[in-house]
Structure 1
Amino acid sequence: MTIDNSPTAPQAPLKLDWVSVIFFSIVHALALLAPWFFSWSALGVLLFLHWLFGSIGICLGYHRLLSHRSFQVPKWLEYTIAVIGALALQGGPIFWAAGHRLHHAFTEDEDKDPYSARRGFWWSHMLWLFYPKSEFFDYDQYQRYAPDLVRDPFYRWLNRNFLWLQLPLGILLYVLGGWSFVVYGMFVRAVLLWHSTWFINSVTHMWGYRTFETNDNSRNLWWAAIFTYGEGWHNNHHAYPNVAKAGWRWWEYDVTWWAIWVLKVTGLARKVVMPPEQALSNQ
């Protein structure tokens, strides 16, 4: 991957993308139907899919596997995990990995970090999606930051078609449990998982403790780690981004690492990048 370190060109005025505003508003509004469609089984579906799409799809798949290559799995399993990530409705794998790699290359730079916390809480949390910059949202521009994924026809296809995967998911949920499952399994799940993920961009660059003196304001925040299955140990991650574990201390809860560990002990995950001994000894 080649990162452009040339001086930043003058920035064009940001324009509000009404398509994004309307899309996110509709999904949030549909999630508000939850009280009228409540059932305990629907709540169970919500919790299961939040974990499956969030921890396995986004945290383990899009983040630690595809963005950082913290470990390797057989290609069939990598593709399966990537599809689970695409079902989270957070963009295609090339878009997600490219944006995250830029975040690490230019952390908190107000122009080159897609969700720079220096622009304020709401920008890093969600406004970056409503005022899209072409270098982060135009495929012809962002694809150069994930060339390994671009070379793969499957990832190019998934990047183009991830949104359509919601149709078979919605049909399956309706067949299994009617509109209750659809409301909780799609709309409530999407909203909760969006904000859980966005917390990493916003709150963990503002509040929490710092184990490592990194060149940014990344923080470790316990409650963010709970909502994001371990991603809230963000200072650890920024200090050693290629390490497969986010929680290093025994009490730093990292559910996503547990899944990676299972893959490792069963022989499905190899070349798992662990924290360096020197860094561990300083904990």
Structure 2
Amino acid sequence: MIILVAFVAHWYLSLFAQTFFQHRYAAHRMFSMSGLWERFFFLFTFFTQGSSFMSPRGYALMHRMHHAFSDTEQDPHSPHYSSNAFTMMWQTRNVYQEIWLRTSPAADRFEGNYPEWVSLEEFGHRWYVRVGWGAVYVAFYVAFATAWWQYLLLPIHFMMGAVHGAIVNWGGHKYGYQNFDNNDKSRNSLVFDFLTGGELFQNNHHKLSSRANFGVKWWEFDPTYPVIWTLDKVGIIKLNKPKANKVRIAA
């Protein structure tokens, strides 16, 4: 039981770091926060993502490229230009590496307005840090696993952030329904969104990219938004006003 609890905790804590800090804050600046809270969420992201930690700068630039080139050959992770989810993940990894190493001319136009903590980001990318996190996961399983099949969950721990990204980008651009015509393949994969904390409302988000609540229709529940709303009310963050965007939702 403790293994399953740990797996679920790692899944959703890592997911929250991705959708709250890297996506909605770093990439889109949907809200602001003090420097102290920014450092707190940097550390939160590092510890919850562990071996799959991504630089908020790298994430932000890659995600801005995704919006600008959605479902074209320049999209860092469109399922419509990959034969399967694994080749898409590898393509994403290659684009991210170029951004991280600052060798991607395509990312230059998207530079700026993202949080940085250079020493922590560089530390999180060291090979021995990633291997160290992997060793921690293995040691935990050796100590607490009660059945052989539980060890099959370990690869997901190692690649947690990449797995989240694959589900969102593959599912959110192939399966589901569309509220808006965005001139791309983005879709709302509502049936799978319990795995992604609102991230699978891709069609809504691509239309309303500065809106902190990814749900649009009354029955579209974005589970991350109530947390954001609460953090705003208690003064930890300050929500920014979404950019004006007149839209008509399909019936």
Same fold (TM over 0.5): yes
Question: After superposition, what is the alpha-carbon deviation per residue over 1:56-78, rounded to whole angstroms, capped at 9, x for unaligned?
Answer: x1011110111111111222222
Is residue 148 of structure 1 aligned with residue 108 of structure 2? no
Q: Which moved further from structure 2: 60-69 or 80-89? A: 80-89
Q: Give the stretch that moved more between structures: 126-135 or 261-270.
A: 126-135
Matched, 1:119 2:81: yes
**Aligned pair partner of 1:72 in 20, 32, 47:** 32
Q: Distance in 1 between matches of 2:138 and 2:248?
A: 44
Cα deviation, 1:32-65, whole Å, max 9, x if unaligned, reads: xxxxxxxx1121111112111112x101111011
SS of 1:140's equivalent? coil
Query: 1:158 is matched with which residue: 104, 120, 131?
Result: 120
Gap change, CA 1:279 and 1:166, over 3 Å in 2: farther
1:59 to 13, 19, 26: 19
Give a deviation string over 1:108-162, Cα, whole Å, max 9, x none.
Answer: 121x21112321452xx33144357866522223463333348x4x1x3333222
CA distance in 2 between partners of 1:133 and 1:281 (Å): 35
Contact 1:218/1:235 (<8 A) preserved: yes
Larger CA deviation: 236-245 vs 77-86: 77-86
Q: Matched residues in 1 for 2:43 and 2:206: separation?
A: 26
- 1:229 paired residue number: 197
Cα distance in 1, alignment partners of residues 42 and 154 from structure 2: 18
Shift in Å at residue 233 of structure 1? 0.6
Local SS of the residue matching 2:102: helix
CA–CA distance in structure 2, aligned partners of residues 75 and 280 of structure 1: 38
Q: 1:148 to 1:272 in 2, by over 3 A?
A: closer
Q: What corresponds to 2:59 in structure 1?
A: 96
Cα pair 1:115 1:128 within 8 Å, conserved: yes
- 2:226 is aligned with 1:258: yes
Describe the shift of the 1:172–1:188 C-alpha distance in structure 2 as closer, same or farther (beyond 3 A).
Answer: closer
TM-score normalised by the chain length of structure 2: 0.78
> How many pairs were matched up?
237
1-structure distance, mates of 2:36, 2:192: 31
Match of 1:49 in 2: 10
Amino acid at match of 2:26: L
Q: Hey, what does 1:17 align to over in structure 2? A: none
Q: 2:143 aligns with which of 178, 187, 192?
A: 178
The one of 189, 193, 202 aligned to 2:170: 202
Taking structure 1 as the reference length, the TM-score comes to 0.70
Provide the secondary structure at the position in 2 that maps to 1:69: coil
**AA aligned opposite 1:80:** F
Alpha-carbon shift at residue 224 of structure 1 (Å): 3.0
Contact 2:62 2:95 in 1 (8 A): no
Offset of residue 279 of structure 1: 4.1
Query: Are residues 272 and 120 of structure 1, via their aligned partners in 2, closer, same or farther at CA, if it must alter by over 3 Å?
Result: same
Look up the equivalent residue of 1:97 and give its one-letter code.
A
Partner of 2:72: 109
Amino acid across the alignment from 1:231:
E
Residues 230 and 255, structure 1, Cα contact 8 Å, conserved in 2:
yes
Confirm or deny: 8 A CA contact 1:62 1:93 kept in the other structure. Answer: yes
Deviation of the 1:249 alpha carbon:
2.3
User: Secondary structure of the residue that 2:210 maps to in structure 1?
Assistant: coil
